[in-house]
Amino acid sequence: MWIAFLPFPTGLIGHHPDQPVAVASYGAVCAVTCLSSSVLRWYASFGGRLMKKEIPETKLRRDLRVSLYSFLLYLAGMAAGFFVPRLGLFLYAGIPASYAISELVRRKSNSRAR
């Protein structure tokens, strides 16, 4: 449901990137989307509910941690967006970077383990 609503704040921030309400509304919708996704990931991953056992629990925990970190960045961007909209945008840009860094760290640790 939240993903279907995402084009509205995205368009708003695209037309008014310097407006605090536009930056904060984008962060709010993304934060709720991220939190919903994290809860679904947690439910599916742990306790053997829906995910197969072939996925190591350390990977599941790391992915959940990165997802929750993104949620916190969205909240920080939303709060910052009310006062300094460009700072909010900067924090939003850091979210894909956090996923990329997490993946690089994972690959590096896997190559050392071999």
- Predicted confidence (pLDDT) per residue in 15-60, tens digit: 999 999 999 999 999 999 999 988 888 888 776 666 666 777 777 7
Answer whether residue 102 shows pLDDT above 70.
Answer: yes
Q: What is the structure's pLDDT at 64?
A: 85
Confidence at residue 48, expressed as pLDDT on a 0 to 100 scale: 67
State the Cα–Cα distance between residues 71 and 16, nearest whole angstrom. Answer: 23
The more confident residue out of 106 and 38 is 38
Can you give the pLDDT at residue 2?
86
| Other beta carbons within 10 Å of 24 | 21
Closest by Cα among 57, 53, 54, 55 to 65: 57
**pLDDT score, position 38:** 87
Other Cβ atoms within 10 Å of 21 Cβ, number: 14
- The residue ranges of every structural domain in the chain are 11-113
